[in-house]
Structure 1
Amino acid sequence: MTDLALSVVWPDQERARTSLLERVAPWCKAQWAAGHRLELQIRLHEDAKTDRQRKYYHGVVLKTIAAQARPNDQQFPLKVWKEHFREEYLGYKTVTTKNPLTGKKMRRRVRVSSEDLGVKGYSQLIDRVSAFAASELGVTFPASFEQWERMQVDADTGEIIGAITP
């Protein structure tokens, strides 16, 4: 069976060049030979880390809160908790734009999304939400949560030191 995706990390130009010639090009040729169409997507490597953070936030933190938290003897779904914590910890920003028809400036409130966060910001969101859930809602997180707590984020670069293991 053919691999459906290829993922490579390029820490510098020379390794990118080598990887393109030795891994990416042969893989692409094999896929084209098999009749597949390809799509290329290149993004900052940091995004891959926030993808893992996002999976952890939704799959462990919010899921656990939705399952255990019962404020005022009521249970709420994950989506409700996600929006509550987004509003509580990320809030809104004011955006000023010009109306193209009148030329007048307009201001409006726009919600800040967790998608706008980098590695460090997402890590801080996870820490704040989990601390609130544990202290105020009595939520106990599974053993895998301890792995997240041991993970450190470099304060200068925002780089994750360590790895999330499922």
Structure 2
Amino acid sequence: MADAPAPALDTPTDLDAKNTETAADALNGVLADLFALYLKTKNFHWHMSGPHFRDYHLLLDEQADQIFAITDDVAERMRKLGNLTLRSIGDISRRQTIRDNDQEFVEPLAMLKELRDDNLEVVRHFREAREKCEDAGDTPTSSMIDDWIDQAERRAWFLFEAARTN
């Protein structure tokens, strides 16, 4: 569960605090995964090599920018409902389910496939969070999540197509 906000951070809302805490907890998990996916995408962007370097390098940079842009919207949505959000790299590390990749070298197609699978995992977590938001009566967040799911599915599709060998 999310920590109870300090009185100074207790943003007013007409939604039930217990339900929004459940939704915020799920969203904090997705937010941690977004930060992990962002950093992994940038890592692969920085370490891309091979004959398709330019195309893959630019694709991953575009995707990283999109992922990072979502993070602020997710965090601000939780704060609007009176909940707390991530506070540190340690907090991210404790909550993330996207696995880091610290290998010194990863084949370009393996990078694309790993990121494709990670984006699909983010989709799964967004769907779970959306259910909790809907249970809390938080339709604005649920609607925003629909857009974030669409973006992640698009990223996964582009990565799938870029990694095809036939």
Q: TM-score band, normalised by the shorter chain?
A: 0.3 to 0.5
Over alpha carbons, which structure has the higher Rg? 1
Larger RCO (CA within 8 A; separation ≥ 6): 2
TM norm structure 1: 0.38
TM norm structure 2: 0.38
Larger proportion of strand: 1
Larger proportion of helix: 2
